[in-house]
């Protein structure tokens, strides 16, 4: 992976080459060497260590812009990319909403340290040793283990001809495990900037316990239930709502929160932030143009307080930019990528104890939006679904499909656990609590 | 390209790998997306790099580099061997490859006009012309359009002697009209949703799919949907138009027939499959009318190729024959696990930076004898016609599915009636396919492209195709996709799990 100095050299060289030919140029570099060791049936099945680096140049000329991408960071290749971008930009329509390149003054993003040297240096054998721990737990309990252990680093650098430059490099370690028994399964996932914060042994034991506890699953009728969503399940459902906070989604008149700013949309106990500086967060502290990401309250005590904007959607909607834009030009526009949901003080165990009859959901599966107006979503339970009776887990149950409006669900939250760093499979990791909700609508059964 | 591949093979063998294959890929791409009369996305670029896959000590290793120099390639190959040796410390059993002849070949995908020879102005003019037509319809709040093109040159070399060069051109085209009022958001698309129709073809795709001719109709329908009734719950006969049937095939036949899923290799992320090996040749997957093939040789199919990414020649095999589950999508390293003598030729990777995994080719339902769509509607007494996908979800073993479409029409006594918004249908895969009783004829058959099939860790996207003509399914659950449960089952009794499908 290239250093900040090297990134600046490449970007400065490109700017020098293009400066006299265009009104402005922006150069973006991205790189990753995340390696992924995959295992299934208690053995390694696939093991990859790719390295990728990309360069994007955006040129502005006569009120037009064009962005071209490549993956050769050499001087000759970058110059060829600029030459082609200059040809392309002249073929495009004038962009009436084009913003000038940002200037460095007052644009310094808050520094966040998300790099761990030990994680960056993990080898293929280090990853295999972690996988071995999982397989040993599975073998000891007569279960079948599948999953991944991944580690590495990634960087982003953005510079432009107005003098702005930002660079961010961070590490990542991730482990997800599915333990399967003849008629049941259990799943866990953790991701962190530090591999040392991922206790693979504990994760494997937890997935195994879920698989064993949900053995011999019973069948429950569909209908409305009190449901406890563990944090990963809550994340993958509520994550479907995030784009509704994006300015571009409002400019396009598609958001389910259209016209709801300042209104009470969710329950009193619902508060959301977008907080790039959160101690359990991840990602660069700047947006796709290099602007500092602001930390915002999106929803406070159920009232919609803020949406997030890149410069384009902010101009369209006559709002202040919040530093959430994607690299220009982008159809998606902007996105709140550092989601935090304020938690409460109930533990999952306490939620179970206070439930006369309900269902505990470990994770949800294949979640998709059905109706953007009500944010109706569908999906299924998976890898550890349990019936609760009289304050205790009675048995594992077969999985069920739900059709739930996220807005309605967030008006029916009875209790929240403390929030913590959470990873699901449908959206980016976030900081989430577990939730206890009423009236959760299961519509159909499946066969396992 | 060739000399670098030979160099990589030599380094791999020198490092002690028992098998090495190398893919060097050069790609150029252009994606244009418009919103109303503006360019919302103009994503154009090139990509080039080398991926190397090795077996050492019985384990797989993979590494890649975008630096096409000898030093960078040697480093990548050595890393791949190191990774393979680490894999070998955690093996359930050593990798075993099914035999495959060594090929020296060159393959070029059929196309008439290279889309990269067409000017950007001409492409934008096409999309803006459509947008003007859609925006002229009162009530349309956003008019979208997209064009996508990929030109790829791939060189494959293996330590077993294969040397294969393939050139592919893929193109996509589509428009959509959105209508929003205070209470609702509705959309109509053509020829398909989520970017439109994709084919292994060049610029000629614009003549096959004349988007401007459909712009006004979809704009009017999007506005009409705002005041259309929702579909009531019930059991009905349904007809799926081709593109929706293509996605139904993708999710409920294509994915479950991937052998890596059926063996549990993808259970942690992409999922498992109910089509486990003991059901091969023993499960009546669908009615006798159901014939599903995996065909990498369909001329314009998005899932077509000459050779897969481990050098296996593209082929056509039955997955379901006369309703019986009869075959898998497979690879060289999974074939022996169920007693197959050779790979099914389904290994592909998103780019040089990913190791190949089993992917769908063109998974297609062979046409029937029910004539045209008009004929099939005339033959239906009481049902619904579902058109163009809006939402899809299916469980981790591919049993329970729920699909929503952009629009549906009532069919009464052989005639189309009212339009419904937010229509949905759901079911259990083998029950659903066994309820099929009519498939339209070859005149309605289209290979529908899916350009974004996700699978693997890290996730890879892939191009797949699905040939389909509209078909009818009897007595299907419809209208269940609502948050309002009309069956108050809170506190319902627990039943013993007593059956296994």
Rounded mean pLDDT, A41-62 = 97
Nearest to A40 by CA among A165, A185, A160: A185
What confidence score (pLDDT) does residue A52 get?
95
* Min Cα–Cα distance to chain A from B496, Å: 5
Tell me the per-residue pLDDT of A259-305, one tens digit each, with 9 for 90 and over. Answer: 999 999 999 999 999 999 999 999 999 999 999 999 999 999 999 99
Chain B nearest-CA residue for A386: B494
Task: Please judge whether B265 and A252 are an interchain contact, meaning their C-beta atoms are less than 8 angstroms apart.
Answer: no
Q: Which residues of B touch A69 (CB under 8 A)?
A: 43-47
What confidence score (pLDDT) does residue B501 get?
31
Q: Average per-residue pLDDT in chain A?
A: 97
Task: Please judge whether A329 and B41 are an interchain contact, meaning their C-beta atoms are less than 8 angstroms apart.
Answer: yes
Task: Please judge whether B46 and A146 are an interchain contact, meaning their C-beta atoms are less than 8 angstroms apart.
Answer: no
What confidence score (pLDDT) does residue B1 get?
81
Q: Which class for A261: exposed (0-12), middle (13-18), buried (19 or more C-beta within 10 A)?
A: middle
Residues whose CB is less than 8 angstroms from the CB of residue B256 and which lie 6 or more positions away in sequence, other chains included: B262, B273, B274, B275, B397, B398, B429
Tell me the per-residue pLDDT of B365-410, one tens digit each, with 9 for 90 and over. Answer: 999 999 999 999 999 999 999 999 999 999 999 999 999 999 999 9
Check pLDDT > 60 for residue A35: yes
| Contact status, residue A184 vs residue A141, Cβ threshold 8 Å | no
**CA-CA distance, A285 to A294, in Å (whole number)?**
9
**CA-CA distance, B295 to B345, in Å (whole number)?**
10
DSSP B360: -
**CA-CA distance, B490 to A294, in Å (whole number)?**
44
Chain A nearest-CA residue for B496: A218
- What percent of chain A lies above the pLDDT cut of 90? 97
What confidence score (pLDDT) does residue A107 get?
67
Q: How confident is the model at residue A406 (pLDDT cuts 50, 70, 90)?
A: very high
What confidence score (pLDDT) does residue A106 get?
67
| Contact status, residue B63 vs residue B35, Cβ threshold 8 Å | no
What confidence score (pLDDT) does residue B500 get?
31
Task: Please judge whether A88 and B402 are an interchain contact, meaning their C-beta atoms are less than 8 angstroms apart.
Answer: no
**CA-CA distance, A289 to A248, in Å (whole number)?**
16
**Angle subtended at Cα B193 by Cα B431 and Cα B252, rounded to the nearest 5 degrees:** 20
* Min Cα–Cα distance to chain A from B267, Å: 7
Six token digits for residue B429: 């895969």
What confidence score (pLDDT) does residue A113 get?
87
B91 vs A43, A368, A394: nearest CB = A43
CA B414 to chain centre: 32
| Contact status, residue B440 vs residue B471, Cβ threshold 8 Å | yes
Q: How confident is the model at residue B487 (pLDDT cuts 50, 70, 90)?
A: very low
**Angle subtended at Cα A163 by Cα A157 and Cα A165, rounded to the nearest 5 degrees:** 20
- What percent of chain B lies above the pLDDT cut of 90? 96
* Min Cα–Cα distance to chain B from A397, Å: 9
Domains of chain B plus CATH, in order, are 2-226 (3.30.2290.10), 234-478 (no CATH)
Residues whose CB is less than 8 angstroms from the CB of residue B421 and which lie 6 or more positions away in sequence, other chains included: B184, B186, B225, B226, B228, B229, B230, B231, B407
Write out the DSSP string of B438-450. EE--GGG-EEEEE
In 10 A of CB B454, how many CB atoms? 11
pTM attached to this predicted model: 0.96
Tell me the per-residue pLDDT of A64-112, one tens digit each, with 9 for 90 and over. Answer: 999 999 999 999 999 999 999 999 999 888 999 999 999 987 667 677 8
Check pLDDT > 60 for residue B489: no
**CA-CA distance, B460 to B420, in Å (whole number)?**
36
**CA-CA distance, B1 to B106, in Å (whole number)?**
14
Going from the C-alpha of B50 to that of each of A242, B5, B63, B82, B323, the distances in angstroms are 37, 8, 9, 17, 42
- What percent of chain A lies above the pLDDT cut of 70? 99
**CA-CA distance, B426 to B438, in Å (whole number)?**
19
Which sequence spans correspond to the domains of chain A?
4-201, 217-448
Q: Average per-residue pLDDT in chain B?
A: 95
Rounded mean pLDDT, B478-492 = 62
Q: Which residues of B touch A441 (CB under 8 A)?
A: 483-485
A218 vs B399, B488, B497: nearest CB = B497
Check pLDDT > 50 for residue B486: no
E-strand stretches of A15-85: 24-32, 35-40, 43-49, 52-61, 64-70
Residue with tokens 């030990």: A118
Going from the C-alpha of A160 to that of each of A18, A62, A111, A422, B224, the distances in angstroms are 11, 17, 20, 35, 47
Write out the DSSP string of A202-256. HHHHHHHHHHHHT-S-BEE--EEEEEEE-HHHHHHHHGGGGGGGBHHHHHTT--T
**Alpha-helical regions (H) of B161-304:** 205-208, 211-226, 242-249, 259-262
Check pLDDT > 50 for residue B488: no
Task: Please judge whether A223 and B484 are an interchain contact, meaning their C-beta atoms are less than 8 angstroms apart.
Answer: no
DSSP B254: I
Nearest to A307 by CA among A362, A355, A242, A351: A242
**CA-CA distance, A68 to B173, in Å (whole number)?**
21
Between strands A52-61 and A219-220, the pairing is: unpaired
Q: Domain A4-201: which topology?
A: PmbA/TldD fold (3.30.2290)
ipTM of the prediction greater than 0.85, yes or no: yes
Rounded mean pLDDT, B203-207 = 97
Q: How confident is the model at residue B499 (pLDDT cuts 50, 70, 90)?
A: very low
């Amino acid at each position: 992976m290239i250093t900040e100095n090297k990134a600046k050299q490449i970007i400065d060289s490109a700017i020098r080459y293009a400066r006299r030919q265009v009104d402005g140029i922006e150069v973006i570099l991205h790189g990753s060497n995340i390696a992924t060791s995959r295992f299934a049936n208690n053995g390694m099945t696939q093991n990859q260590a790719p390295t990728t680096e990309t360069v994007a140049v955006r040129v502005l000329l006569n009120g037009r812009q064009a962005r071209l991408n490549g993956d050769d960071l050499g001087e000759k290749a970058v110059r060829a990319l600029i030459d082609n971008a200059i040809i392309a930009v002249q073929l495009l329509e004038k962009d009436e909403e084009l913003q000038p390149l940002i200037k460095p003054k007052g644009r310094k993003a808050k520094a966040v340290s998300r790099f761990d040297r030990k994680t960056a240096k993990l080898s293929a054998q280090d990853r295999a040793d972690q996988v071995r721990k999982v397989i040993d737990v599975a073998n000891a309990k007569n279960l079948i283990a599948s999953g991944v252990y991944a580690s590495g680093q990634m960087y982003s650098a953005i510079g432009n001809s107005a003098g702005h430059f930002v660079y961010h490099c961070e590490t990542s370690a991730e482990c997800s495990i599915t333990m399967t028994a003849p008629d049941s399964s259990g799943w866990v996932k953790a991701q962190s900037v530090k591999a040392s914060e991922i206790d693979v042994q504990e994760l494997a034991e937890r997935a195994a316990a879920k698989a064993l506890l949900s053995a011999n699953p019973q069948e429950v009728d569909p209908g409305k239930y009190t449901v406890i969503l563990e944090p990963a399940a809550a994340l993958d459902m509520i994550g479907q709502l995030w784009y509704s906070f994006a300015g571009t989604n409002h400019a396009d008149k598609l958001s389910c929160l259209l016209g709801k700013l300042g209104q009470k949309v969710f329950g009193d106990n619902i508060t959301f932030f977008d907080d790039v500086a959160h101690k359990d967060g991840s990602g660069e502290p700047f947006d796709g143009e290099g602007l500092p990401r602001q930390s915002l309250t999106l929803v406070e005590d159920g009232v919609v307080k803020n949406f997030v904007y890149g410069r384009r959607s902010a101009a369209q909607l006559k709002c202040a930019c919040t530093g959430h834009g994607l690299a220009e030009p982008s159809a998606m526009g902007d996105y709140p990528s550092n989601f935090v949901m304020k938690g409460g003080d109930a533990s999952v165990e306490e939620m179970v104890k206070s439930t006369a009859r309900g269902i505990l959901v470990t994770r949800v599966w294949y979640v998709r939006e059905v109706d953007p107006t009500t944010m109706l979503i569908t999906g299924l339970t998976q890898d550890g679904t349990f019936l609760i009776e009289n304050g205790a887990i009675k048995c594992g149950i077969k999985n069920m499909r739900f059709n739930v409006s996220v807005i309605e669900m967030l008006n029916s939250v009875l209790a929240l656990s403390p929030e913590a760093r959470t990873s699901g499979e449908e959206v980016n990791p976030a900081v989430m609590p577990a939730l206890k909700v009423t009236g959760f609508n299961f519509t159909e059964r499946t066969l396992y | 390209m060739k000399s670098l591949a030979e160099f990589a093979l030599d380094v791999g063998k020198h490092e002690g790998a028992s098998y090495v294959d190398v893919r060097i890929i050069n790609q150029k791409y252009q994606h244009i997306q418009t919103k109303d009369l503006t360019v919302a996305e103009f994503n154009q670029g090139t990509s080039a790099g080398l991926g190397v896959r090795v077996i050492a000590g019985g384990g797989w290793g993979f590494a890649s580099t975008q630096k096409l120099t000898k030093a960078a390639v040697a480093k990548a190959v050595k890393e791949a061997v190191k990774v393979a040796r680490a894999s070998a410390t955690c093996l359930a059993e050593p990798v075993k490859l099914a035999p495959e002849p060594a090929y020296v070949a060159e393959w070029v995908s059929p196309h008439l006009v290279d889309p990269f020879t067409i000017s950007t102005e001409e492409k934008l003019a096409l999309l803006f012309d459509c947008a003007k037509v859609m925006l002229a319809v009162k009530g349309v709040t956003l008019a979208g359009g997209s064009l996508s093109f990929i030109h790829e040159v791939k060189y494959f070399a293996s330590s077993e002697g294969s040397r294969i060069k393939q050139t592919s051109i893929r193109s996509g085209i589509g428009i959509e009209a959105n209508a929003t009022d205070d209470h609702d958001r509705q959309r109509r698309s053509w020829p398909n949703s989520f970017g439109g129709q994709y084919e292994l073809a060049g610029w000629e795709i614009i003549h096959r799919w004349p988007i401007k001719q459909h712009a006004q109709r979809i704009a009017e329908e999007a506005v009409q949907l705002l005041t259309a009734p929702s579909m009531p719950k019930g059991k009905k006969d349904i007809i799926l138009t081709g593109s929706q049937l293509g996605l139904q095939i993708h999710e409920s036949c294509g994915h479950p027939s991937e052998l890596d899923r059926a063996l549990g290799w993808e259970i942690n992320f992409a999922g498992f499959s109910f089509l486990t090996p003991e059901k091969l040749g023993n499960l009546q997957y669908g009615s006798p009318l159901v014939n599903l093939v995996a065909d990498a040789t369909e001329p314009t199919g998005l899932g077509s190729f000459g050779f897969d990414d481990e050098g296996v020649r593209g082929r056509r095999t039955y997955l379901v024959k006369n309703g019986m589950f009869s075959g898998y999508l497979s690879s060289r390293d999974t074939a022996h696990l169920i007693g197959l003598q050779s790979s099914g030729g389904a290994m592909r990777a998103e780019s040089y930076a990913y190791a190949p995994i089993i992917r769908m080719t063109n998974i297609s339902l062979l046409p029937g004898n029910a004539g045209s769509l008009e004929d099939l509607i005339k033959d239906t007494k009481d049902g619904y016609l579902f058109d163009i996908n809006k939402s899809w979800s299916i469980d981790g073993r591919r049993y329970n599915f729920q699909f929503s479409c952009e629009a549906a029409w009532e069919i009464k006594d052989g005639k189309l009636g009212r339009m419904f918004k937010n229509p949905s249908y759901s079911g259990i895969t083998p029950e659903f396919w066994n309820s099929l009783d009519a498939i339209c004829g070859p005149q309605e058959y289209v290979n529908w492209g899916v350009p974004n099939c996700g699978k693997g860790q890290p996730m890879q996207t892939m191009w797949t195709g699905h040939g389909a003509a509209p078909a009818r399914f009897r007595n299907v659950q419809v209208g269940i996709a609502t948050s309002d449960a009309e069956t108050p089952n809170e506190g319902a009794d627990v039943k013993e799990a007593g059956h296994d499908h």
